[in-house]
Each structure stands twice: as C-alpha cells, then as structure tokens.
C-alpha cells in the first residue's frame, strides 16, 4: 500500500507536521502526484460527513531514542543537561510505544484538505499560499502507508473493533462530572474560588438560577455615557483593580477597557439624546466599546448596553474560566446598585460553583477553546486535555464518559 521513505516513526511524523505549517504552500517535486495518489487511496473509505469527509485512525511507532533526536543538539540548545534528562524528555513526549493520529480529508469542488488531528497538513488549491514550496513526498508516502494498513484492516473486517479496543484515552472525546474532577484535584477548586467570598458565591448562585433568558423586569428609561462609565467603575471597584483611585469613572473606563470605543468619548456624557444618537448610529459598530475589561478574543469581560421596547438594560458577559470571577463580581456590583442587569450563561457559571455540570475532554493537541461543537446536545463550557502525567490521566479516564468511536467502512 505504499512504501515508507524516510518517515516511519512518530517523532518524524510530528516534525513533518510542524514543517507543513497548515498547508499554505505550493507542492513541489513528487508531492502533487503523490497527493493525488493518496486521495485515490483514502477515497476507498466511505464518506462520513458533508464535503466527502473521511476519517481514519492510523498509528506510528515511537522508535528508539535516536529517532527522537540528537542528545548533543538538545544539550547545545539548553533543552537538557544530561543524557538522563534527554531520556526523560523523550519518554515525556512519547510515553507509549506508538502514537495514534486521526486522518481526515475533505473536498469541495477543486479544493481538498488533509487534517492530521486538528492540524491542517496538506491543502490542494488552497485559497492562499505563503512561503517557499515544499516537497512533502516522504510525509505523503507515510500517510499512504499508514492509511493503507488501516484499509487492509477494514477489508478484513477488523478495523473498528481494533480501534475501539486500542485507541488511547488521550485521543478520545468525552466528559467527566465537574465534582468528580475537582474531588480528584481539589487545589483547582480552591484556586477558582480564592478571589470570591462564600457570600458572593451563594448570592450569585441564587440570582443565576432564578434568571430567565429574557431581559430584566426593570429597565432604564434613558441612558447616558456617564451612566455606562459609572457602572464600569462599580465593576472595577468590585474587582479591586489597581490604579483606579483618583480617577473619574470615565477615566477608569479608558484605563481598563479595550479602548476601541467607536467615538463614545466624543459625545456629551450627560446627554441621553447624544447617547441615543451614538447608540443607533449603525456606522460605528466595528469597535469594542463594550469590552470593559480588555483581554483576548475569549478572555475579556464585556458590559453590553441593550435596548428593547421597555428601555435600556445591561448584560455582563465573560464566561472564560480565567475571567469569569471578574464577570460575576461585575454583575453582582451592578445588581446591588439597583441597575437592571443580567449575565450571560448564568446557569452554566453557577454550575461551576454547584459542580452539577460536566467538563469536556478533548484529544491531546486540541486547543481547549471553542470545542462546544464536539458535544452536541450538551451545555459544556469548560474543556480539558488529559494530562501527560500517566497517573493523573488514568484517574480522569476511568471516571470519564467517552463518546462512541465512529465506525468506518470501505465503499
């Protein structure tokens, strides 16, 4: 089913995956012809999704330590000092005798893509290209060899049972109850609750469980920029932000918010009419005026001003694990001050305290964000990989509820 050339062991496969850089490069040498041959091979497997999606699990042996790397090179780069450390590093990266990879292919018109795990490895007719061309022939030959072995197992009727029995937990998708997880690692529970009092937790849980999905019952008849700034200042105070002292509410906003306010600072902050005109001006909605505690795409806190037929109200959003305590304190401060306010994902945030929800487990190598689509029909907001420490991973794995592994068959 294809001859392996230069690539056989998992460390070699992983080095090629680093080199391919998401497949945005021209294919050189024998690569174009080999990629065509690879697609003809894998398309013997029946599609399992839209855009002719095909999936198959393949394996690569760990090999010896020489296949991992050169001790002298690792030593010269400061990665290790002794050969014993080099062995430990090898076994840390490759604790098992073989590594598993999920190969996924898709095609849409003349575009085709090969995923290895969650990483794009090859693209045919990509929407854009970058850098110099690469001859990936050795890597494609390994793909053909590995997929060919899986196809042989399918032909013998043994593939699905083999994968079901042997796929490592670190490559599976599943859930674990938050309580069981935190009972295993109570320090994580303590760390999450360290910056919020038991009284605040109890109040928040009560409010969150009572909150429906609609707007608050009360509204503000009018809104001004000054009111918005004052609410921000209440949240900053509740979170003990350093540097706010001696600054007006407006100044605090520009100290801690994203800063891309779409001209909010230019309007009369005490004028309801000025705020209404700014709020309803559709031209400005390209910035981040509501990002009141700046951070990354998924790690900031927002305070939205919303309006319906009854008037204005606020909505706090910030469910990321690292920022949710700030969001909760922000919400409580506004609620206690009498402002109409709700908080997004209220019940899911409360469940972090009551420990009545689940944590999603995604395969190692998968970034633990934006994984909601892997858990259809479930409300999962936190995701983890199994840890590399074998003992910890086994404790989680034996308590996890694993999703069924999709069966594959030949056409």
pLDDT tens digit sequence for 53-62: 999 999 999 9
> What pLDDT was estimated at residue 3?
42
Domain span holding position 47: 10-62+97-167
Least confident segment among 13-22, 109-118, 188-197, 235-244: 13-22
**pTM for the whole structure:** 0.86
**Is the Cα dihedral 220, 224, 230, 235 positive or negative?**
positive
**Is the Cα dihedral 368, 374, 379, 384 positive or negative?**
negative
> Is residue 306 a part of any domain in this protein?
yes
Query: Does residue 150 sit in the same domain as residue 224?
Result: no
The pLDDT of 10-19, averaged and rounded, is: 93
Least confident segment among 62-66, 93-97, 205-209, 214-218: 214-218
Measured distance CA(202)–CA(199) in Å, rounded: 5
Query: Does residue 223 sit in the same domain as residue 114?
Result: no
Number of compact structural domains in the chain: 2
Query: Does residue 19 sit in the same domain as residue 109?
Result: yes
Query: Does residue 233 sit in the same domain as residue 316?
Result: yes
> What pLDDT was estimated at residue 284?
61
User: Is the pLDDT confidence value at 1 over 60?
Assistant: no
Query: Does residue 112 sit in the same domain as residue 226?
Result: no
Maximum Cα–Cα distance across the chain:
77
User: Is the pLDDT confidence value at 4 over 80?
Assistant: no
* Beta bridge pairs of residue 20: none
Query: Does residue 132 sit in the same domain as residue 48?
Result: yes
- CB atoms near residue 308 (< 10 Å): 10
Query: Does residue 144 sit in the same domain as residue 268?
Result: no
Least confident segment among 16-25, 269-278, 336-345: 16-25
Which DSSP symbol is given to 388? S
Query: Does residue 137 sit in the same domain as residue 258?
Result: no
Q: What angle do CA 122, 126, 127 make, to 5 degrees?
A: 150
Average pLDDT, the chain: 94
User: Is the pLDDT confidence value at 67 over 50?
Assistant: yes
Query: pLDDT by residue (tens digit) across 347-389?
Result: 999 999 999 999 999 998 888 999 999 999 999 999 999 998 8
Measured distance CA(77)–CA(14) in Å, rounded: 19
Query: pLDDT by residue (tens digit) across 385-404?
Result: 999 888 999 999 999 999 99
The gap from C-alpha 203 to its chain's centroid, in whole angstroms, comes to 30
Query: Does residue 137 sit in the same domain as residue 233?
Result: no
Query: Does residue 18 sit in the same domain as residue 153?
Result: yes
C-alpha to C-alpha distances, 46 to 49, 87, 331, nearest whole angstrom: 9, 42, 51
Is 292 in contact with 259 (CB distance < 8 Å)?
A: no
Which DSSP symbol is given to 170? G
> Is residue 68 a part of any domain in this protein?
no
> Is residue 324 a part of any domain in this protein?
yes
User: Is the pLDDT confidence value at 282 over 80?
Assistant: no
> Is residue 84 a part of any domain in this protein?
no
E strands, 199-356, where? 291-293, 301-308, 311-317, 341-343
Under the banding of pLDDT at 50, 70 and 90, the label for residue 2 is: very low
| Residue that is last in its domain, among 287, 316, 339 | 339
b/e map of 164-201 (b: 16 or more CB within 10 Å)? eeebbbbbbbbbbbbeebbeeeeeebeebeeebeeebb
Show the tokens assigned to 237: 């105070």
> Is residue 86 a part of any domain in this protein?
no
| Residue that is last in its domain, among 339, 369, 402 | 339
> Is residue 329 a part of any domain in this protein?
yes
> Is residue 376 a part of any domain in this protein?
no
| Residue that is last in its domain, among 309, 339, 369 | 339
Query: Does residue 162 sit in the same domain as residue 224?
Result: no
Percent of the chain at pLDDT above 90? 85
Under the banding of pLDDT at 50, 70 and 90, the label for residue 40 is: very high
């Amino acid at each position: 089913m294809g001859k392996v050339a230069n690539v056989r062991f998992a460390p070699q496969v992983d080095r090629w995956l680093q080199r391919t850089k998401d497949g945005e490069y021209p294919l050189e040498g024998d690569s174009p012809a080999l990629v065509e041959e690879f697609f003809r091979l894998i398309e013997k497997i029946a599609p399992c999704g839209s855009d002719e999606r095909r999936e198959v699990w393949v394996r690569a042996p760990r090999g010896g330590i020489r296949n991992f790397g050169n001790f002298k090179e690792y030593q010269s780069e400061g990665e290790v000092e002794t050969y014993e450390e080099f062995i430990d590093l090898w076994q840390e990266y490759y604790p098992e005798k073989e590594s598993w990879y999920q190969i996924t292919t898709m095609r849409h018109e003349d575009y085709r893509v090969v995923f290895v795990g969650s990483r794009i490895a090859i693209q045919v007719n990509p929407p854009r290209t970058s850098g110099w061309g690469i001859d990936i022939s050795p890597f494609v030959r390994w793909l053909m060899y590995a997929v060919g072995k899986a196809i042989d197992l399918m032909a013998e009727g043994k593939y699905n049972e083999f994968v079901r029995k042997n796929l490592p937990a670190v490559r599976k998708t599943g859930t674990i109850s938050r309580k069981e997880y935190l009972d295993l690692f109570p320090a994580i529970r303590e760390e999450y609750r360290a910056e919020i009092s038991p009284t605040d937790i109890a109040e928040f849980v009560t409010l969150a469980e009572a909150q429906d999905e609609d707007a608050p019952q009360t509204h503000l008849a009018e809104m001004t920029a000054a009111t918005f700034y004052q609410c921000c200042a209440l949240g900053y105070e509740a979170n003990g932000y350093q540097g706010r002292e001696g600054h007006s509410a407006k100044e605090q906003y520009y100290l801690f918010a994203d800063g891309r306010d779409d001209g909010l600072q230019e309007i009369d902050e005490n004028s309801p009419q000025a705020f209404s005109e700014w709020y309803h001006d559709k031209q400005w909605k390209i910035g981040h005026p509501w990002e009141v505690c700046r951070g990354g795409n998924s790690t900031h806190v927002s305070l939205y001003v919303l309006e319906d037929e009854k008037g204005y109200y606020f909505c706090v959003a910030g469910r990321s694990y690292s920022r949710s305590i700030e969001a909760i304190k922000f919400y409580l401060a506004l609620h206690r001050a009498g402002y109409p306010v709700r908080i997004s994902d209220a019940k899911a945030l409360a469940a972090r305290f009551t420990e009545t929800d689940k944590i999603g487990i995604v395969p190692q190598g998968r970034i633990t964000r934006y994984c909601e689509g892997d858990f259809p029909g479930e409300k999962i907001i936190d995701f983890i990989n199994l840890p590399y420490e074998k003992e910890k991973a086994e404790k989680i794995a034996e308590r996890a509820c694993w999703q069924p592994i999709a069966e594959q068959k030949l056409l």
